Amino acid sequence: MRIETQLKKIDELENLFVSFFAHKISTAYLLEIRQLAFTLVLSSDTNENKARNGAGIDDGKKKPSPLDKFKANLNRRKTTNSLLTNKGVSQIPEPYRAILKSDIAYVFRDEINDYAEIDFKKPAHTKLLHTAINMSIAKVNEQQGRPANEALAKFFIGLRDLYEVATGEPAHASAHFDEQPNSNLEKLIYLGYQIVRGKRPYPSALKAYQRAIARQS
C-alpha cells in the first residue's frame, strides 16, 4: 500500500478517536494513538522493502535507517543550525519522518506550545532533539524483522489498552449482521486494520483483533 494512503488512514484514525470526546483530548492519548499507527506503518514499510530486496536474504548486517543517517549527520556538525536541522527533518522519508516528529512533539511537550517555537540553535533544544531521535531509532529497531501479523497484534493490544484508559469503557468488539463496524472501538479496529490490509472487510479485522487479544490473555 502506498505510504500516502496509509498516512491518510492514520489521519482518519486520529480524527475518529478525537471525535469520541466532548472535551479536549489529552495530548498524551493523541500521541499514543499516533505512535501505535506509525509503528504499524513502519512494520509494513519494512516488510515491503524486504520483499522487494529479496525476502529471506540476511547478510548479518543491519542497514542504517534514514533516522540513523540523520543522527550521524547531526553528530558530524561542528555548529548547530536550526534552519539546516529543520530542512534535514523535512527530507526524512515517511513513515520515519512522521515517527520522529511525533517523538519531537512528545519530548518538547513541556518546553513549547507550538512546533514553530523550536530553535535548534539552543543547546537545550538540541539535547531534546537527540532524545527524540534515539526514541525513534529504538522504535525502528524494534520493528525491523517483525512479522506483519505480530505488528498488527501489537497495534490491537495497544489500541485496546488506550481505549479503555481514555474512555473508561470496556474494549469489546463483535460481529454484526451487516458485516460493518458499529461501536466506536469497532470503527477504530477497522480503520487500524485498513492501514496495512487495505480494503478487506470488517469481519477480517474483527478476527485479527480477537486473535491478538486471545493470544495475550
> What percentage of the chain carries pLDDT values higher than 90?
43
The residues near 55 (Cβ < 8 Å, ≥ 6 apart) are none
Residues 185-194: what's their mean pLDDT? 95
Has residue 122 got a pLDDT over 70?
A: yes
pLDDT at 205: 95
Has residue 84 got a pLDDT over 80?
A: yes
Residue 11 and residue 214: Cα distance in Å, rounded? 28
Residue 191 and residue 187: Cα distance in Å, rounded? 6
What does pLDDT average to over the chain?
85
For 54-77, how does the pLDDT look when each residue is reduced to its tens digit (9 = 90+)?
444 344 456 788 999 999 999 998
pLDDT band for position 22 (50/70/90)?
Answer: confident
Report the predicted TM-score, pTM, of the whole model to 2 decimal places. Answer: 0.74
Burial of 86 (0-12, 13-18, 19+ CB in 10 A): middle
pLDDT at 41: 84
Closest by Cα among 36, 29, 17, 14 to 152? 36
Domain ranges within the chain, ordered by starting residue: 1-52+147-217, 63-146
Burial of 126 (0-12, 13-18, 19+ CB in 10 A): middle
5 vs 165: which has the higher pLDDT: 165
pLDDT at 52: 47
